[in-house]
A and B are shown apart, each in its own frame.
Chain A
Amino acid sequence: MDLRDLYQDIILDHGRSPRNFRALAAPSHFAHGHNPLCGDKVTIFLRLEGDRIVEVSFEGKGCAISTASASLMTEVVLNKTLAEAEALFGHFHGTVTGGGGDLPDALAEEGERLQPLTGVKAYPTRVKCATLAWHTLEAAVKGGGLPVPVKTE
């Protein structure tokens, strides 16, 4: 196993300089995610217009994998509908846990952008790091701003 499959340049880059790393002034939804096993913490902020994500950002402290995953996630879900975001999560989750999960052609490009993260599937103890932001996004949508427990794998 080559560590470079896990720590690809794009992961290291997003881990070092995460995009959309700030709080939103007026989020319509947000949630805190916490991985008690390693202490990683992330807060996801969303502003929805109808069912479309028009603003998304995050804050938190975590490893390169969880930071890069949150950063890439904010990039790919921006301007997507909740259904599209859910499809992306389903696909990503399936890929890293070995379940598969098809993606509609319209989202193929976004799926491609998440590809560098799928190296975690060879590192079972790190899968949670990659999915924490996604679980927290889901919790933010479901909870509508109330604190919700975030489930990880």
Chain B
Amino acid sequence: MTLLLEDRAASRPDGAAFDPMAVRRQFPIFGRNPGLTFLDTAASAQKPRAVIDGMAEFYRTDYANVHRGVYGLSARSTARFEAARETVARFLNATDASEIVFVRGATEGINLVAQSWGPAFLRPGDQVVVSELEHHSNIVPWQMLRQRLGIELVVAPIGADGALDLVAFQGLLGPRTRLVAMTHLANVTGHVVAVEAVVRLAHAHGALVLLDGCQAVPRLPVDVRALDCDFYVFSGHKCYGPTGIGVLYAKRALLDAMPPWQGGGDMIRTVSFAETTYQDAPQRFEAGTPDIAGAIGLALALDFMDGLGRAAIRDHEAALTRYAEALLTEIPGVGLVAAGGSRLGALSFLVDGIHPHDLATIFDQHDVAVRAGHHCAQPLMDRLDLPATARASFGVYSTEADVERLAEAIRAAQKLFGVAAR
């Protein structure tokens, strides 16, 4: 298959810096939209040919429902689906594939923990700690649980530098802290949270830790065993996989102790009207026909990232981030939203005298796609006292030329608005 050869051409298993132009050629979207400067990967990543074609190929050759038929095709489909689970486990360095629950995305993963683990282990007055950096999906499920169980939601602040304030965080931990639910990489600012310290401090207080890896998985090598986190969630569509699939990793002992959260087929062992017994994890948490092709597409995406080398991806993202910081701060009137000195892969910026929404419209005329708004993090925007920001974010296919076109578009916007242009 030429497809595989092409994949190899761009990959450097030794982890050396790769050639983003060669990587870019593996993403058909750029061929079909030649002028496009896509700087919104943090919202969702584009898909490589290996994923697009691989999923279609699966439908053509191996597709049937899983865990059901005794016929060969169903067995093949089941094998592919369970192999995808193995791939995810390897990718995260989980102890075992049974620690990987397929969900629709990070949002569903967090809701699963809130609705299954929450009522089973939390009592009124118990505390869940989140940070000011969180996406709504790591706030609202805990507020719903607060409503339902009478728990408390405690918010760990960021400092003036935009970093999670570890001293303040430590001060919030106490005998009632049961869970710390925190982002690994902040989607608005690009701040990489010191999650190793977060886990260490939380565990020292007997609290569990859930990490939201939506933005970290596409950009950083993630090893859940080294992190020693208890739960880890991420979405497939942000790491070059399809929409509709995501992952909840949880330590096996936790999954074993958690009750099912949705009932239906696949998650049961025996059903009678008098009594039903449930499957072991992870099947117990996967009621109904799963997103089979989605799981296979996700595995293809993770293999794709491994092929490029995850350290190489991180270095590429870091180099582009440094380049963007340098190029943007060189423009008079442009300010970056602070990211605690550890920005990776995403940056929020403001331009004096031009609202982010106007920026995004002007950029669009230059075929530069960035996100403007609150980025599903309204509490953080309130904390920063900003109604909105413009955010540029990078992927494996992003190039220095993309950053240069962004800088040009900023200058064009300043010219149009008659502010601070050079």
Q: A interface vs B, CB < 8 Å?
A: 1, 3-4, 6-7, 12, 16, 37-41, 61-65, 123, 125-126, 129
Give A37's nearest chain B residue, CB to CB.
B373
Q: Is there an interface contact between B417 and A63, defined as CB atoms closer than 8 Å?
A: no
Q: Given the known A-B contacts A7-B417, A12-B417, A64-B417, are A38 and B373 also in contact in the complex, defined by CB atoms under 8 Å? A: yes
A22 to chain B, nearest CB (A): 19
Please, which residues of chain B bring their CB within 8 A of the CB of A65?
357-358
Q: Is there an interface contact between A64 and B358, defined as CB atoms closer than 8 Å?
A: yes
Tell whether B216 is near chain A: CB-to-CB under 8 Å. no
Q: Given the known A-B contacts A37-B373, A61-B387, are A123 and B355 also in contact in the complex, defined by CB atoms under 8 Å? A: no
Please, which residues of chain A bring their CB within 8 A of the CB of B357?
38, 40, 62-63, 65, 126, 129
A40 to B386, CA, bound (A): 11
Tell whether B65 is near chain A: CB-to-CB under 8 Å. no
A4 to B373, CA, bound (A): 23
Please, which residues of chain A bring their CB within 8 A of the CB of B373?
37-39
A132 to chain B, nearest CB (A): 11
A97 to chain B, nearest CB (A): 17
Cβ contact of B355, chosen from A1, A3, A37, A62, cutoff 8 A: A62
Q: B interface vs A, CB < 8 Å?
A: 353-358, 361-362, 365, 372-374, 378, 381, 387-388, 416-418
Q: Given the known A-B contacts A39-B381, A126-B357, A126-B361, are A12 and B418 also in contact in the complex, defined by CB atoms under 8 Å? A: yes
Give B381's nearest chain A residue, CB to CB.
A39
B248 to chain A, nearest CB (A): 28
Q: Is there an interface contact between A63 and B358, defined as CB atoms closer than 8 Å?
A: yes
Please, which residues of chain B bring their CB within 8 A of the CB of A3?
361-362, 365, 416
Please, which residues of chain A bring their CB within 8 A of the CB of B354?
64
Please, which residues of chain B bring their CB within 8 A of the CB of A125?
361
Please, which residues of chain B bring their CB within 8 A of the CB of A39?
373-374, 378, 381, 387-388
B137 to chain A, nearest CB (A): 16
A21 to chain B, nearest CB (A): 15
